[in-house]
Amino acid sequence: MNDQQTVEFDDIQALARFAHGHLQDSCFLLLSVIDRHAAGRWLQRANIATAGQKAELPDTAVQIAFTPAGLTALGLPEQTLMQFPEDYLTGISGDESRSRRLGDVDHNAPALWQWGHHDWHAVHLLLLLYSHRGSIGRFREEIADKGFDSAFHVCHTLPTDTLSPHEPFGFKDGISQPRIDWQHTQRTDVHAREAYSNLLAPGEIVLGYDNEYGQLTPRPLVSTTSDTHSVILPPAVDHPGYQDMGRNGTYLVLRQLQQDVSGFWKYVHEQARGNATLAEELASQFVGRQRDGKPLVIPTVRNIPGISRKQTDNHFDYDDDPYGFQCPVGAHIRRSNPRSGDFPPGVSGFWSRLVSTLGFNRQAEQQDLVASSRFHRLLRRGRTYGAIHPQSAETDKEQGLQFISLGANITRQFEFVQSAWSISSSFAGTREERDPLLGHRRALDNGTRTDNFMQADAAGAQRKLPSLPAFVTVRGAGYFFMPGLRAVRYLGKMAEQNPDGATPNGDEPDSAVISEINSSSSVAGRP
């Protein structure tokens, strides 16, 4: 490991390393820059939480991420902006083809979203605030001081809730996370890893370090001669004379997913004909885990780097269950992470790798359809919202998940998992079904329905549950860039010192849109 690969925790926003689990309350704000100068000043003094180790856990945390419109509003030159990848620049709702690929169609279509589509040009920043239980209101007031108010307009306050280990359907969530290999203990090479490992190269999450291919993900670089502000940025390790705007930054995908909890349990109970045990079993088949988090497949005896054997709810893969007898192949967690190595199970050593590579290792028809899941991992940082308390009378309240995932490559990570695995009707040889939780239910063009759920059965014929309703609805979504600390200061400085102090024309937030958003958010918002 060379110096360039030593991870600079103090320059990385804390969320890439910690989930702020002890800060149970949170508040997510979508902001619009109304005064570039003021915004620049505020960004430079903002106390952003970093990934560096502290003696004590902090009482509050602030994280900041930007949209492409936000970077422009702060005065980032177009030539730098255009170096960002296509997915980020176009945005999650900016192209119908992308929406189709991600399954944001029908009831999930961006046109129906509460935020992230009509208003996207006016959204510039995402501010994530975390604090101890009960103190988030006070913390938000503290943040929204005079300098803040003159710089930003709050377009939308996303609903959030006190942190809960269970997602709204009632299942324990957040068990499976990649473990970031900050010390670079594991080799990264295209064909190096035969079996599944949970250790993930830092460059898969944070830009500027080697990713799982042993390469640097492209990111915007700035020449020191053309841009004097850029001296505060870290140098680009692969391009002498350039500063790295991406280093220590990460992309943040945010999706507000409304969950139809009563619809979910109603369907399951109907299918179980009222048998509560059966209903519970069915629901766990959808998820791939029981409510308490216990996976449906038995823990493996093989070693999985990055997961302790004691962690029985995570020490498993699907190598011994190719047909899905233990856990349906189409189950939610199996689609989200098939836990496959670079080669089919049992391949080890030069010759068997060669035989496999040439296509002569044909043990089971189901095997090797999905390989190398390490290139498609998500670091999840979501929070639930709208929990219905047992005492509460409101039962029709919107509830769900503010899904957040971090990664260095939106297309290869979030979009791949969403399109090729979760909503694909042909994931790993499955057919006529999509993710039972996340998927839309649109039939294929040739009329084949995809609203089923298939359960393989060792005794013979598979069981088919028909006519699944959609249980999840997308209410808003966006792609953000969460820069390193120095890059935030660079942006702040640029905004403050830019001769054109006012927000450039065209980025003026549309007041009609904003008021519309505000009125729609007031129901769910929790200031």
Q: What DSSP designation does 203 have?
A: G
Contacts to another protein by CB under 8 A: 86, 89-90, 95-98, 100-101, 190-191, 211, 213, 215, 217-218, 323, 342, 356-359, 362, 365, 368-369, 371-372, 375-376, 411-412, 415-416, 419-420, 424-426, 429, 431, 444-448, 456-462, 464
Complex with another protein: residue 217 or 402, whichever CB lies closer: 217
Q: How many CB atoms lie within 10 A of CB 51?
A: 22
Could you tell me which of 300, 304, 311 has the C-alpha nearest to residue 199?
Answer: 304
Complex with another protein: residue 101 or 121, whichever CB lies closer: 101
Complex with another protein: residue 259 or 430, whichever CB lies closer: 430
Complex with another protein: residue 461 or 512, whichever CB lies closer: 461
Could you tell me which of 333, 379, 411 has the C-alpha nearest to residue 178?
Answer: 379
Could you tell me which of 218, 214, 204 has the C-alpha nearest to residue 87?
Answer: 218
Complex with another protein: residue 359 or 506, whichever CB lies closer: 359
Q: Collect contacts of 317-322 with beta carbons under 8 A, ≥24 apart.
A: 317/195, 317/196, 319/195, 319/196, 319/345, 320/345, 321/297, 322/364, 322/366, 322/367
Whole-angstrom Cα distance, residue 488 to residue 44?
Answer: 7
Complex with another protein: residue 358 or 512, whichever CB lies closer: 358
Q: How far is the CB of 421 from another protein (least distance, A)?
A: 9
Q: How far is the CB of 431 from another protein (least distance, A)?
A: 6
Whole-angstrom Cα distance, residue 119 to residue 121?
Answer: 6
Q: How far is the CB of 429 from another protein (least distance, A)?
A: 5
Complex with another protein: residue 1 or 190, whichever CB lies closer: 190
Whole-angstrom Cα distance, residue 102 to residue 113?
Answer: 15
Q: In the structure encoding, which two tokens stand for residue 375, read together? A: 């290139």
Complex with another protein: residue 444 or 523, whichever CB lies closer: 444
Q: How far is the CB of 96 from another protein (least distance, A)?
A: 8
Q: How far is the CB of 448 from another protein (least distance, A)?
A: 5
Q: How far is the CB of 494 from another protein (least distance, A)?
A: 24
Contact status, residue 247 vs residue 484, Cβ threshold 8 Å: yes
Complex with another protein: residue 335 or 486, whichever CB lies closer: 335
Contact status, residue 204 vs residue 214, Cβ threshold 8 Å: no
Q: How far is the CB of 445 from another protein (least distance, A)?
A: 6
Beta strands of 311-419 (E only): which ranges? 379-380, 383-385, 400-407
Could you tell me which of 27, 284, 336 has the C-alpha nearest to residue 169?
Answer: 284
Cβ burial of 3 (10 Å; 0-12, 13-18, 19+) is exposed
Q: How far is the CB of 178 from another protein (least distance, A)?
A: 17
Quote the crossing angle between the two packed helices 485-497 and 36-45, to the nearest 10°: 150
Q: How far is the CB of 522 from another protein (least distance, A)?
A: 36
Nearby residues of 104 by Cβ (< 8 Å), 6 or more positions away: 92, 93, 98, 110, 474, 477
- Report CA 204 to chain centroid distance, whole Å: 13
**What SS3 state is found at 152?**
strand
Q: How far is the CB of 342 from another protein (least distance, A)?
A: 6
Output helix, strand, coil percentages for the chain, rounded to the nearest 5.
30, 20, 55
Q: How far is the CB of 201 from another protein (least distance, A)?
A: 13
Complex with another protein: residue 111 or 358, whichever CB lies closer: 358
Complex with another protein: residue 95 or 508, whichever CB lies closer: 95
